[in-house]
Structure 1
Amino acid sequence: MLILLIASLALVFYVWQRRTYSYWQRHGIKSIKPVPILGNLRTFLTGKVPFFEQISLLHNTPGYEKEPLIGVYLLRGPGVIVRDLELIKTVMIKKFNYFVNRALSTDPHRDPIGYNNMFIVRNPEWKMIRNKLSPVFTSGKIKQMYPLMVEIGKDLELTLEKVPVDSAIRIKDTCARFTTDLIATTAFGVKANSLKNIKSEFFKHNVAIFEISWLRALDIGIIFLLPALASLARVKFFSKKSSEFIYKTVTYVLSEREKSGLHRNDLIDILLALKREAAEKGENMTKELDFLVAQAAVFQTAGFETSSSTMSLTLYELALNTELQDRLREEVKQYFGDEDHISYERIQEMPYLTQVVNETLRKYPIVGYAERECSQPESGEKFTLEPYYDFEVPSGMPFYISTLAIHRDEKYWPDPEKYDPERFAPENRHNINMDAYMPFGIGPRNCIGMRLGLLQSKLGLVHLFRNHRVIQCDKTIKSINFSAKCPVMASDVDIYLQLIRD
């Protein structure tokens, strides 16, 4: 009986696999041949590459170079890799009403912070949140935050001055402490003191969010690849300790700000306004507090990691290309002049700094990919893959776009592995297809904090290069290999650079 049961289960599994993995063939759409159980994600699921690099490998599969899209098989079932730039614009912009939601989810009951944040939350809540939070990220509001940011820039200078002469430092650690302090002051109105205090609790919890154990990797895998199982598996976007810290911090700051009546034009002011609005409507305040904390959590997480990675990868490339670094440092000194800081208007005008940061984000688009889930209306016109295929896309099907692959495609970027800020020089802009440049995503659901993130990275670089430069040392790695555990672009080993004081 046991042998019969095993044989029956094996037969059912075989039939299910054959039917599942013949989906694209039945619909006449070119697809990549899968392997049993793992589908087209073998390299990722065996821990060899991060997910964004797996999507890049699928995008670049030999033999599909001229295909506008590729059918693939994920753990959740069939999916689409979109390669053609026009089709990307169709999915992300022109037909956005069919692709409002991301193809991921977490447990709404056990992970309210993860489920309700703007990165994950589904429409129509997403649209409401986006409209409410957008005022925080206007140029005017960021300009009002800028003096607070400059203070952290000066803290970075003071910290670097205390580093022993010609020391080799872990550059990502320094950058991450800088962005942690920036987020703490601009978003929450608190002093994290990560640069001054090596044991800063705020910094410790920020880092912990991106430290992925195998158990956390399983949670993240379910959220991104098997979202239908999120509630059953009780997965969480943030670990229990991280959630508790974020909840404690935000509730404390909200309470203190209400008592003091202070206005700082930051995220907390916006969240307090939302809280008052909810109270006037008689809404459940426990649920509302979860919602408020969720927005602060994603702001803290995204702002800390993306800007610090951009800074550290820029410094790494400039250490390898000292002539480019010299040019940037000359511009930094010119714009500082005799002042102790660069004004908001002036830092935005720095042409070579902008070219350098743009090129870093071209070669290293920090998230590495974008994804959306198709949502078909119950009635009316349906989304199809015409004119490429006569195929009506079913609701729930995920679409993936590899920004990493597109940013390193020689069709759009000649000699793509070369770090060359001259690509973005004004006289060369006409050579760039800007549709192939999407470091902050594309369309209405792109990164809401793009302006602030760019400013954070630029500010850190100018204050570091004001009195220092970086060069290679014995510990400096020869090339960047991405960490398979990290959900965003990060080196698999520490990047050490030698800090030289002028």
Structure 2
Amino acid sequence: MSNELLLLLATLSIVFYIWQRRVFAFWKRHGVNYIRPVPLLGCTREFLTARVPFFEQIRKFHEAPGFENAPFVGVFMAYRPALVIRDLDLVKTVMIKKFQYFNNRVLQTDPHNDALGFNNLFFARSPEWRELRTKISPAFTTGKIKQMYPLMVKIGKNLEDSAERLGSGSNVQVKDLCARFTTDLIATIAFGLEANALQNAKSEFFYHNKAIFAVTLGRAIDFAIIFMLPALATLARVKLFSKETTKFIRTSINYVLTERERTGQKRNDLVDILLAFKREAAANPEKSQKALDLDYLVAQAAIFQTAGYETSSSTMTLALYELARREDLQERLRQEISDFFGDEDHVSYERIQEMPYLSQVVNETLRKYPIVGYVERECSQPAEGERFTLEPFHNMELPHGTSIYMSTLAIHRDPKYWPEPKEFDPERFNPANRDKLNMDAYMPFGVGPRNCIGMRLGLLQSKLGLVHLLRNHRVHTCDQTVKEIEWAATSPVLASKNEIVLRLEKV
């Protein structure tokens, strides 16, 4: 090796060393307690080496020894300083009271090469997200959901039929069954399509929904950049959906939009709202013309397909897992289902909302297993006027663009707020115990103006699925049932590393 090359490498090494020392001294310079980083990987070594999923890495920051009484903890996402907030009052300040400083998410994809990822409501940035949310919200009102409900019941009956076909005494991969149910539900209520995932083992809709969360090495790198290093999204050309999935979603939604325009049919669903976007854009050429772009419309549909499929199916799966381990609780829920519906063929919308123990079971499932596992926001400091500081805990003014994280998983399992947090106990949510709960420590759907827009629909999907499965069936543990759930390290949401298998018994 030539002397010149050696000198260049030595110089670059020294420059990198000095740069990294300066970067990693950020929280120390500001007098904020922080977790000591390691070279290159910062504080995220376990996540970047695929030992733990991202939400678990955030939980470990929250629970780091020595910070038990700290309101927040400084960390480094690789080379980027970030703050993990532990204090509930500060969480409320960031998410609600001072939301004007935190109305963007940290997560980003490539704005130039990922139209489906960048333009949807979940990833949209201020001010576009607010306009989008205002326009999409009507699809998720109680009135609209009630209109959709008969379609949902039809899919619920298909779920019962599927359980029937599996046969009493069979060992069932529960997530697969629940995910087929939510795939069919989202397809019909959002797009007016029949996915037939419950009837057809090779349903295209189901295949592509699964593909979104089946993480390969390439997808794992994409997700790592989206979660942790969004500034590199354009350089790395990261995409939320794979090329194959993008093509399928684009083709499917384009077909539905075209047919709906051709026939003039109205279903009061998400597609009708997207077509209204398009008509409004055409009628107001002086305003933003994004809604005339097919990918902009498809982006909104794609994120609801993704979120609606995964969150509700995981909630159902984990509820059934806990109920199989506690058959006394399962029998209590089955008794309530019997008391409310008896031999009726139709499970009415009003009646399902009135079931107290069903609500307790779902709420406790989401307490123990908040499906996303964390909440994040980006600090947006104004060019002029009052700027956000960490008062009353610290006088530091957060730099513009600082990432803020909150671990819902850690907060939901903190014995300070939830006694015996590892226990699955629906009685926590009994109305008689309401005064014992700190509901600020319960945030399965996020909190504040950017919480989950589909919360009502997600809860209803999970409740309806549990009612239809448990009306005529019980679930039991079997020799294939995992004793404890280990998280899948490459999953972007809470998911078991091993299949959750339960024995299905016809009653």
Name the SS of the counterpart of 2:503 in structure 1: strand
**Match for residue 370 of structure 2 among 365, 371, 381:** 365
User: 2:71 — aligned with what?
Assistant: 68
Query: Is structure 2 residue 452 aligned with structure 1 residue 450?
Result: no
Change (3 A) 1:498 1:388: same
Cα distance in 2 for partners of 1:287, 1:389 equals 47
| 32-41 vs 458-467, which moves further | 32-41
User: 2:284 — aligned with what?
Assistant: 281
User: 1:241 — aligned with what?
Assistant: 244
Q: Which amino acid aligns with 2:60?
A: L
- The structural deviation recorded for 1:164 is 2.5
Cα distance in 1 for partners of 2:155, 2:11 equals 65
**Match for residue 398 of structure 2 among 393, 396, 405:** 393
- 1:278, 1:288 within 8 Å by CA — same for their partners in 2? no
Gaps of 5+ in 1: none
User: 1:150 — aligned with what?
Assistant: 153
Write the deviation string for residues 101-121 of structure 1: whole angstroms up to 9, x where unpaired.
001211112110100011111
Paired residues for 1:271-420 under 5 Å: 271-282=274-285, 284=289, 288-420=293-425
User: 2:189 — aligned with what?
Assistant: 186
Gaps of 5+ in 2: none
Cα distance in 2 for partners of 1:55, 1:194 equals 34
- The structural deviation recorded for 1:201 is 0.5
Q: Which amino acid aligns with 2:414?
A: D
Q: Which amino acid aligns with 1:183?
A: I
Percent identity between matched residues is 64
User: 1:206 — aligned with what?
Assistant: 209
Query: Is structure 2 residue 99 aligned with structure 1 residue 85?
Result: no
- 2:278, 2:292 within 8 Å by CA — same for their partners in 1? no
Cα distance in 1 for partners of 2:314, 2:447 equals 20
- The structural deviation recorded for 1:75 is 2.2
- The structural deviation recorded for 1:93 is 0.2
The count of aligned residue pairs is 502
- 2:168, 2:506 within 8 Å by CA — same for their partners in 1? yes
User: 2:136 — aligned with what?
Assistant: 133
User: 1:12 — aligned with what?
Assistant: 15
Name the SS of the counterpart of 1:162 in structure 2: helix
- The structural deviation recorded for 1:82 is 0.3
User: 1:176 — aligned with what?
Assistant: 179
User: 2:56 — aligned with what?
Assistant: 53
Write the deviation string for residues 243-274 of structure 1: whole angstroms up to 9, x where unpaired.
11111111100111111111111101111111
- The structural deviation recorded for 1:284 is 4.5
- The structural deviation recorded for 1:286 is 7.8
Write the deviation string for residues 227-256 of structure 1: whole angstroms up to 9, x where unpaired.
111111111011111111111111100111
- 1:76, 1:225 within 8 Å by CA — same for their partners in 2? no
Query: Is structure 2 residue 438 aligned with structure 1 residue 427?
Result: no
Q: Which amino acid aligns with 2:108?
A: S
User: 1:102 — aligned with what?
Assistant: 105
User: 2:255 — aligned with what?
Assistant: 252
- 2:282, 2:292 within 8 Å by CA — same for their partners in 1? no
- 2:167, 2:506 within 8 Å by CA — same for their partners in 1? no
Name the SS of the counterpart of 2:7 in structure 1: helix
Write the deviation string for residues 30-56 of structure 1: whole angstroms up to 9, x where unpaired.
111111111110111111110000000
User: 2:500 — aligned with what?
Assistant: 495
Q: Which amino acid aligns with 2:402?
A: M
TM-score normalised by L of structure 1: 0.99
- 2:155, 2:185 within 8 Å by CA — same for their partners in 1? yes
Write the deviation string for residues 119-166 of structure 1: whole angstroms up to 9, x where unpaired.
111011100000000001110100100000000000001111111320
Cα distance in 1 for partners of 2:292, 2:66 equals 51
Cα distance in 2 for partners of 1:443, 1:500 equals 42
Q: Which amino acid aligns with 1:252?
A: Y
